Amino acid sequence: MDFDQILAKCGDFNRYQFMILALFGFINIIVSMHYFTQTVISFVPDHWCYHEKLVNLTYKEIADIYSQFENPSCTRLEDINGHNATVSKEKCERWIYNYDFGYRSMNTELNWVCDSAYKARIGQSLFFIGSVVGTLFYGLLSDKIGRVPALILSNFCGFAGDFSTIFTKSVGTFTLCRFISGLAADTNFYLMYIIVLEYIRPSMRTLGLNMAVGLFYCLGLVFTPWLAVLAGHWQIYLACTSLPILLVVLYYFAVQESAQWLVTRNDIDGAIVRLKRVAKFNGCRVTQADFDEFRRHCQMTREMQGGDDKKHATLLDMFRTPRMRKNTLILFFKSMVITLCYDAVSRNVEGMGISPFIMFSLSALAVLPSSILLVLLQDKIGRKGMASGSLLVGGLFTAAAGIAIAYQQHSHNAILLACLTIAARFGVAISYESGSQYATELIPTCVRGQGVAAVHVAGFAASFLAPYILWLGTFFKAAPSIILGVLFFAGSFVCLLLPETLNRSLPTTIEEGEVFGKGERMFDFPCLHNKHDDEESDSELEKYKRKHSLIDAKQMESSSNGKRKQSLIEADREEQALKDAKH
């Protein structure tokens, strides 16, 4: 009796599963606020260099005076006579801000604008560096101490980083706090994702997980900017978003440790204890005989795999063979493009001719429909078609937004830009959600944990460039959209070079990963050919598995015979030793 069978007896879509889905939803709300905290506290409203003659004027009158200059936000005026003004050679040191909804951001309070705008970007970059380090560290830690403790420690690190940011006043302390906050990024989400995935019926995983992400993550994103408006000040906002993270500590008492992880640690008793708790919570009666059968299955599987003496595959083995190496590098590049574009598109809400609060919420609304569409189409179009198509759509609308900005430098059509940005966000949200599942299925089971972690690290490493791409918009407003559009198109193309995983036997070893999808063409999609074609395209892997299963069976039989012979020899020796002792 394997894990899925014993889980079905304990309840694989019952009260416990609904509870952890709800807890996963809370994690999504927290993660959405934590990830975009840097964006919200860095919102920069319309601003102009301070002059005593501007104090009693309306914001529209101030904007009219500065409209005659090329860089109105950073131009210091020496004298003002009506609408006529002369420019001062000195740099601006004080500004007049037209606060959106009365919200005072960190950038406005510390005057990190114009020549000092780079300071906030440095902190944002350190956040992504922290996420790379944190993903590696907490990923390894979760394999040592368990998923639940690592999840709690990761979220506590996010709380410490965000809460300590409240007291920063200098670039040095700000970047340190953002680095600490970044250590939690991604692991504070995907560790809970893994736990939920393992305790839910396989047929309900796509629906349950994607709908939980789509609904609660979208809810968190839409609510985030308006929480800042309600708070009115960036420090109060940080306190409101960081303190709820401490509630994750209570997960230790509600969420069961990953039973599958305990089995891999040879703690079968611990796995059975967790499964019994799940069964009790669900009100399911499971006999001891069922658990004993599950124990025998785990022990037999471990013996067949060579026990503790078998050499385990590592991440480096993914680069050992040519096709596996090609697929791994494409997954890395795809993750870098998707994560970079997702982050940049999500944060690119300023300079659109509309309030960044409204723009942020409108673009966030694309997350829920993207999850629904993913559930409806991914099992029909296929992983490859969904990934490539969503990136292509995102690229088209992002490039269109860049062209629109370039041709409307002085008078932006806010509605047009908002529609294009939301459409781009829709495309990249689909590719972002489907990307993790595609990588998980394509990477062989023996290195799946390490491989998925490495793919995530590559994506976060690329996100380091996101604030600088957006910063280019200060020189040419269309630059970020054009650059992101090119990256979208490149990612869409390389996805076509990957093999399809829908309705295929997935690889479990590096050798199977090498032959997986062999002979498949670039434009082979499940929706364009029949089931017979799927069987033919999978024949290489199936032949490989049949061949090696026979070899393994012979080796096991030979090994078993060898063990029996050795036991007989040892018994003869013991009997002879007893005879010698009597004599």
pLDDT computed for residue 568 by the predictor = 44
Does residue 387 sit in the same domain as residue 462? yes
Q: What single DSSP character describes residue 217?
A: I
Helices (H), 201-320: 205-212, 218-231, 234-242, 251-254, 259-264, 268-282, 288-304
Are 227 and 166 within one domain?
Answer: yes
Do 414 and 514 reside in the same domain of the chain? yes
| End-of-domain residue from the set 59, 77, 98 | 98
* Domain shared by 362 and 441, yes or no: yes
**Do both 519 and 392 map to the same domain?**
yes
User: What's the pLDDT at 4?
Assistant: 84
Residue 514 lies in a domain: yes
In this structure, of 51-60, 118-127, 276-285, 461-470, the range with the lowest mean pLDDT score is 461-470
Residue 451 lies in a domain: yes
Q: Is residue 40 part of a domain?
A: no
More confident residue, 511 or 528: 511
Read off the pLDDT of each residue in 277-290 and give the average, rounded to a whole number.
Answer: 95
For position 262, what pLDDT does the model report? 87
Q: What is the pLDDT of residue 260?
A: 84
CATH code: domain of residue 230: 1.20.1250.20
Determine, yes or no, domain membership for 38: no
Most confident residue range from 29-33, 69-73, 314-318, 476-480: 29-33
* Residue 13 forms part of a structural domain: yes
pLDDT confidence bin for 411, thresholds 50/70/90: low
Q: Which amino acid is at 286?
A: V
pLDDT at position 573: 57
Spatial CA neighbour of 417 closest among 432, 427, 407, 430: 407
Q: What is the pLDDT of residues 347-404, one digit of tens each?
A: 776 656 678 898 888 888 888 998 888 888 887 888 888 889 988 988 898 888 878 8
**What band does 240 get if pLDDT is binned at 50, 70 and 90?**
very high
Choice among 177-181, 261-265, 546-550 with the minimum mean pLDDT: 546-550
pLDDT at 232: 96
The confidence score (pLDDT) of residue 24 equals 95
Residue 255 has pLDDT above 90, yes or no: yes
For residue 553, the model assigns a pLDDT of 47
Look at residue 315 and tell me whether its pLDDT is greater than 50.
yes
Q: Which single residue is written with the structure tokens 């393992």? A: 198
Q: Looking at the structure, tell me whether residues 129 and 22 fall in a common domain.
A: yes
| Per-residue pLDDT, 72 | 85
Contact 14, 66 (CB under 8 A): no
Q: What pLDDT sits at residue 528?
A: 73
Judged by phi (left if over 0) then psi (alpha if -120 to 50, else beta), residue 51 lies in beta
Task: For residue 449, give Cα distances in angstroms to 305, 440, 518, 520.
Answer: 18, 8, 24, 26
Residue 304 sits in which domain range?
Answer: 1-33+107-310
Query: Under a CB-based contact definition with an 8 Å cutoff, are residues 371 and 433 in contact?
Result: yes
Domain-terminating residue out of 487, 504, 529: 529
- Please check whether residues 293 and 317 belong to one and the same domain: no
pLDDT for res 571: 45
The CA–CA distances, whole Å, from 563 to 304, 307, 406, 534, 569 equal: 14, 15, 76, 42, 10
State how far the Cα of 473 lies from the Cα of 351, in Å rounded to an integer.
Answer: 9
pLDDT band with cut points at 50, 70 and 90 for residue 566: low
Close Cβ partners of 61 (under 8 Å, ≥ 6 residues apart): none
For 379, left (φ over 0), alpha (ψ -120 to 50), or beta? alpha
Note whether 360 and 421 are within 8 A (CB). no
Quote the pLDDT of residue 578: 47
Give the number of domains in the chain: 4
Q: If you average pLDDT over every residue of the chain, what do you get? A: 83
Round to whole Å and give the CA distance between 256 and 279. Answer: 12
The pLDDT assigned to 356 comes to 86
* Structure token pair of residue 196: 């939920």
Check pLDDT > 70 for residue 537: no
Given a contact cutoff of 8 angstroms between Cβ atoms, the answer to whether 120 and 113 are in contact is no
Per-residue pLDDT at 333 exceeds 80: yes
Q: Is the per-residue pLDDT at 44 higher than 60?
A: yes
Supply the pLDDT for residue 509: 75
Out of 50-59, 90-99, 550-559, pick the least confident.
Answer: 550-559
Q: Distance (Å, rounded) from C-alpha 73 to C-alpha 57?
A: 16
Q: Is residue 494 packed enough to be buried (19+ CB in 10 Å), middle (13-18) or exposed (0-12)? A: middle
Looking at the domain assignment, is residue 41 inside a domain? no
Q: Clarify whether residues 24 and 170 are in a common domain.
A: yes
- Does residue 217 share a domain with residue 92? no
CA separation for the pair 252, 149 (Å, rounded): 7
345 and 478 fall within a common domain: yes
Contacts 24+ apart (CB under 8 A), 59-68: 59/98, 62/96
Alpha-carbon gap, residue 51 to 78, rounded angstroms: 8
Whether 543 and 523 map to the same domain: the answer is no
Cβ atoms of 258 and 195 closer than 8 Å = yes
Q: What would the two tokens of residue 563 be?
A: 């063990």
- pLDDT tens, position by position, 148-168: 999 999 999 999 999 999 999
Q: Are 433 and 210 in contact (CB under 8 A)?
A: yes
| pLDDT band (50, 70, 90) for residue 445 | low
Q: What pLDDT does residue 350 have?
A: 62
With vertex at residue 44, the alpha carbon angle to CA 43 and CA 47, rounded to the nearest 5 degrees, is 160
CB neighbours of residue 44 within 10 Å: 21
Model confidence pLDDT, tens digit, residues 169-223 = 999 999 999 999 999 988 888 889 888 888 998 778 778 888 898 899 999 999 9
CB 399 within 8 A of CB 481: yes
322 burial (CB, 10 Å; 0-12 / 13-18 / 19+) is: exposed
| Whether 301 and 427 share a structural domain | no
Contacts for 576 with CB less than 8 Å, ≥ 6 apart:
none
42 found inside a domain: no
What phi, psi does 80 have (nearest 5°)?
Answer: -130, 125
Mean pLDDT throughout 254-258? 94
> Final residue of a domain: which of 245, 276, 310?
310
The pLDDT > 70 percentage for the chain reads: 86
- pLDDT tens profile 45-68: 989 999 888 888 999 999 889 888
Q: Is residue 206 part of a domain?
A: yes
